[in-house]
Amino acid sequence: MKNYVSCLVLISFLYLKGHVHAQSENVNVFLGSSGDHGQLSPAASSPFHQLSIVPQTNPTLHMGYEYLAKEVVGFTHNRFEGVGCKGSGGLILVKPFLGDKDTKIPLQKRREKASPGSYEIEFKEGIGAKIAVDGNFGIHEYTFPKGKKGLSIDLAHAFNGAFVNNKYEIKDGLILGALRAKTTCNVGIYTIYYAISLNHVVDMAVEGDKLRMHLANNVEKSEFRIAFSAVDIAYARKTLEDHNTMDYARLKQKSVANWDRYLSAIQVEGDPEREKLFYSLFYRTMQSPYKISEADGKYRGTDGEIHQDELPRFHGWAIWDNYKTQLPLLELAFPQYYQAIVSSISDLYRYGKHDFAGRYEPANSVRTEHAAVVLLDAKGKGYEIHLDEIRDSLIKDTSRFDFSKPDKYLEAAYDMWTMSQLFEGEESDHYFNRAMTYKKVWEKHFKDLKRNDVDRMSARDMYQGTIRQYRWNVPFDVLGLVKLAEGKTAFTEQLDDFFDNHYFNRANEPDMQSPTLYYSSAKPWRYQSLVHELALDTVIQYYFNDNSRGIDAHIDRIYKNEPKAFVRTMDDDAGAMSGWFVMTAIGLHQPLIGEPIYYLNVPFFSKVTLANNGKPLVIKVLNFSDRNRYIKSVKLNGKDLGRVWIKHEELAAGGELVIEASNQSTTYGFDSIWISNANIKEGV
């Protein structure tokens, strides 16, 4: 079979030729890496690949790294960026040491620096480390003082007690193995196949999964080289051997060039500091899912078996968290890759889908609820979802939908509506009728806001949210929601109460799309100002991810380009939160994932260009100013659009979208706003 992946990379980047900017220079990889403000790390990583290398510090965070910590216990080789459950990943701990043996005493950080694809650190002990990653291959380049020295490797190391087992052999001077660990939240099990080589080793001590290598006394520079595969050891070894002549400097250069290609998929022009924030957050949306297929198209499914296809495959999902933001953003930024992502999600139904994870995950993963919603959305955007092949599995999956709790009921109703759109005839009617039963639950649990538990986190056994926050979660039938709220006037008053009194929770996803509801209210203009306020201004936040409503508010900007980046306890959740900012910054949000419609707002930059797979889409803002947050007019390719929403097919065609901004609210386009209406199926 031809090397499809290499061809895909070539084709994908031809449209960027001559337009690749050094956007990696605008990325601050330390954003969100201190405290519980994002759960991010400055790891050397590659776009959409699982191998990521960074120190494990003492004390540590979910990511194994704390920006302010001075003690380093070693370097680990994977992590799931931005997710909770006390950390995920942290496999294969490597520590350089001086003297006859490694001790449990941590190394002391003197200084560090990092950028996309690379990480460098100097220790007070005189040891230095430079790390670069590109794809499934990485290099540690260590510098030592003269004298006794070595490296220790713990092949049984994982965050949060997640290690399951490891089988390895030392062959031809290489360490070759398969390591199994528990997935995020310790629900399922994934396997990483690895190959490791070292140079200047004079002796090795092996005690189970712990290895200690001594290096020659006169050696001042040594390399630790590692390759990953999600298929088998042979592929990991081949990747390692294919990079035999690659040194650290060239690998870093290659990795930076790769990051620049990806980051150049969206070009923004405006305030330099805001550009840096934008690209630092855009970078965060490209950490996962992970590419799990090899160059010949082979990959492992969730059934544990090896399969093959021309399209690459991805795994490592946090769909419940990021289906509203990160995945739609990836489609806009990388339409040339999105079919591969869609086919990978479809594979879950083909080979074994779990709400969280199963025993044979090909990569670390979090959760997959609302995967069908993503497939419906992709279908509406012109992608193949392989419906005939996964029909039975989709139907079987509905038997797991949870209607036992108020929040779960609304979420399950969304999935049922999705099924009604995917199927036809009696099947469609069945799912549609089931979806519409949400109204009884909404009236029972969410209508009355005078009950004393409506502001309490996890009241009525709900998940990380309040009654006020979850009550908006009916994106497929906003017109019905307005009616349940007793009409547009009452609906608007309830929205105002929600936002004016700071019941909105930006620390988590349940009410993330609620600002879009203003386009269905009597004050549609407030959507245009609200998204700017949330993204750029100081906010008042009372709710936190320890399931509490604080006595005192957290008052700050949500998005800051610094280690303490987000609202306290706010995880980035695999690019979900970063994706919201990026989408808002370019002026586009989908009010309903499953319908290829975007609401418009004034972008944060005077000019935004999406590469758009060879059909550039240029978004320009006339009268640009931070004070001008309202839409005065919209023109698409020179013609007045007459609305404040746009179709996916119009974006995909490319061209020029010109948004004229104003510092005063207007009525432009408000007589023709698209509003979701589930009852349209009944001809209402």
Record the tokens describing residue 421, joined without a space: 């759109």
First to last CA, the chain: 52
Record the tokens describing residue 73, joined without a space: 């216990």
Exposure letters 571-608 (e unless 16+ CB within 10 A, then b) = bbbbbbbbbbbbbbbbbbbbbbbbbbbbbbbbbbbbeb
d(CA 529, CA 627): 10
Residue 16: exposure state from Cβ atoms within 10 A (0-12, 13-18, ≥19) = middle
pLDDT of residue 14: 37
Q: Which of 490, 329, 474 lies closest to 406, judged by CA? A: 474
Q: Which of 338, 346, 223, 242 lies closest to 294, judged by CA? A: 242
CA distances from 463 to 357, 408, 572 (A): 19, 8, 17
Under DSSP, the state recorded for 644 is: S
Strand 655-662 to 617-622 pairing: parallel
CB-CB contact of 298 with 96 (8 Å)? no
Exposure letters 102-140 (e unless 16+ CB within 10 A, then b) = beeebbebeebebbbbbbbbbbebebbbbbbbbbbbbbb
CB-CB contact of 314 with 292 (8 Å)? yes
d(CA 35, CA 31): 11
> Could you write out the three-class secondary structure of 268-327?
EECCHHHHHHHHHHHHHCCCCCEECCCCCCEEECCCCCEEECCCCCEECCEHHHHCCCHH
pLDDT of residue 87: 80
CB-CB contact of 322 with 572 (8 Å)? no
Consecutive 10-residue runs of the chain (684 residues): their mean pLDDT? 40 46 94 94 98 95 91 97 88 97 95 98 98 98 97 96 96 96 95 97 95 95 98 98 97 98 98 98 98 98 98 97 98 97 98 94 96 98 97 95 96 98 96 97 97 94 94 98 98 98 94 97 98 97 86 92 94 96 98 98 98 96 98 98 98 98 98 91 44
CB-CB contact of 141 with 114 (8 Å)? no
Question: Which residues lie closer than 8 Å to 682 by C-beta, 6 or more apart?
Answer: none
Instruction: Please calculate the CA angle 118-119-120 and round it to the nearest 5 degrees.
Output: 130
List the beta strands (DSSP E) in 473-547: 538-544
Inter-axis angle of helices 371-380 and 326-333, to 10 degrees?
30
CB-CB contact of 630 with 596 (8 Å)? no
Question: Which residues lie closer than 8 Å to 447 by C-beta, 6 or more apart?
Answer: 471, 484, 485
Q: Can you give the pTM of this predicted structure?
A: 0.96
d(CA 210, CA 219): 23
Bridge partners for 192 per DSSP: 179
pLDDT of residue 9: 40
pLDDT of residue 549: 87
d(CA 295, CA 312): 8
CB-CB contact of 152 with 95 (8 Å)? yes
CB-CB contact of 516 with 597 (8 Å)? no
d(CA 580, CA 171): 47
d(CA 611, CA 334): 8
Domains of the chain with bracketed CATH: 26-255 (2.70.98.10), 271-662 (3.30.2080.10)
Dihedral, CA atoms, 174, 180, 186, 189, nearest 10 degrees?
140
d(CA 684, CA 682): 6
Dihedral, CA atoms, 399, 400, 405, 408, nearest 10 degrees?
-110
d(CA 483, CA 8): 48
d(CA 320, CA 510): 9
d(CA 484, CA 603): 33
pLDDT of residue 61: 78
Record the tokens describing residue 313, joined without a space: 């495959």
pLDDT of residue 5: 39
pLDDT of residue 545: 83
CA distances from 677 to 10, 330, 403, 515 (A): 42, 26, 22, 18
CB-CB contact of 401 with 412 (8 Å)? yes
CB-CB contact of 350 with 311 (8 Å)? no
CB-CB contact of 178 with 191 (8 Å)? yes
Exposure letters 435-463 (e unless 16+ CB within 10 A, then b) = bbebbebbeebbeeeeeeebbbbebeebe
Identity of residue 602? V
CA distances from 359 to 85, 183, 323, 354, 509 (A): 18, 9, 24, 10, 27
CB-CB contact of 599 with 516 (8 Å)? yes
CB-CB contact of 126 with 144 (8 Å)? yes
CA distances from 447 to 413, 486, 499, 634 (A): 17, 10, 17, 36
The DSSP secondary structure of 348-410, one letter per residue, reads HHHH---SS--TTBSS---B-TTHHHHHHHHHHTT----HHHHHHHHHHHGGG---SSHHHHH
Q: Which of 79, 177, 196, 190 lies closest to 137, judged by CA? A: 196
